[in-house]
Amino acid sequence: MEIKGAITALITPFKAGEIDEDSYRKHIEWQIEQGIDGLVPCGTTGESATLSHEEHKRVIKICVEQVKGRVPVIAGAGSNSTREAIELTKFAKDAGADAALLITPYYNKPTPDGLIAHYKEIAKEVSIPMVVYNVPSRTGLNITPAVAKRLFTEVKEIIGIKEASGNLRQVAEIIESCGKNFTVLSGDDFTILPLLSLGGKGVISVVSNIVPKLTHQLCEEFFKGNLEKASDIQIELLTLCRAMFIETNPIPVKTALALMGRIEMEVRLPLVEMQPQNKEKLIAVLKEKSLL
């Protein structure tokens, strides 16, 4: 399946400390009904860092089951341990995911050669389309255009990158280095349209958890050539995007979904609920956008 357009980095709903499967399935179904182009379980927004391996696998399995092949599922399967990444990627493939999203190893801060070796080892053990996740603000490691080219050239399973550096010059140089067959996806809701205009294929989005239809429409209008309409939507989304990052993601987006009556508001420690003054700001934005 083609990986293109608006792809939601799904939240993982919790209830009384456990995965809320019913809310999760309903959220997935609503996303598809609203026209979303793909789904990512177990990314940063899905609080993968606090899921046990058993829970991580269950979240992927539920997503694949609920989607039933209607849109691509790109399962978060990365780790700073290569062995763990192999285990999770194997499960993602066996569960029926269409691709794996593999974050760069965080904390270890490998050299470029170590980074290449990490992905080569995963690909040697599991043959599945892979999207590298570059998010320097979380990992302390940045994939340069030169390293991106090496990954694309040396690891045949790697089909693209989720680029969350926010650096449009870097995005342009990655596209220049890797060519049009390399799928570059925005990991930054603030720069969806600029990235598409450079030759990117879409976005793995936080804000689409609450406005899937609008995020899909932004990409759709761009691909139709309606640049003015796409620009209008990008500008319209900015207020919501800012609200989603008042505090650490996914605290605001989960709070928004709870206010909208879609999930229970629960995050796992060390994340905590929003500060009251920030919650007030979020409520005001949601009301302004007629989401409450």
Residues in the chain: 292
289 labelled catalytic: no
State the Cα–Cα distance between residues 166 and 186, nearest whole angstrom.
8
Q: Is 143 annotated as contributing to ligand binding?
A: no
Asked if residue 158 lies in contact with residue 132, where contact means CB atoms within 8 angstroms, the answer is yes
Helix axes 212-224, 227-244, angle to 10 degrees: 150
Q: Which two tokens stand for residue 66?
A: 């609920």
Among candidate residues 61, 133, 201, 279, the one labeled active-site is 133
Asked if residue 1 lies in contact with residue 254, where contact means CB atoms within 8 angstroms, the answer is no
Q: Helices (H), strands (E): how many in the chain?
A: 12, 10
Residue 33, amino acid? E
State the Cα–Cα distance between residues 96 and 91, nearest whole angstrom.
9
162 labelled catalytic: yes
Q: Is 204 annotated as contributing to ligand binding?
A: yes
Question: Considering only CA atoms, which of 192, 122, 120 is closest in space to residue 162?
Answer: 192
Q: Which two tokens stand for residue 108?
A: 């270890």
Among candidate residues 162, 201, 254, 279, the one labeled active-site is 162
Q: Residues comprising the binding site for pyruvate?
A: 45, 204
Q: Which residues are catalytic?
A: 133, 162
Q: Residues comprising the binding site?
A: 45, 204
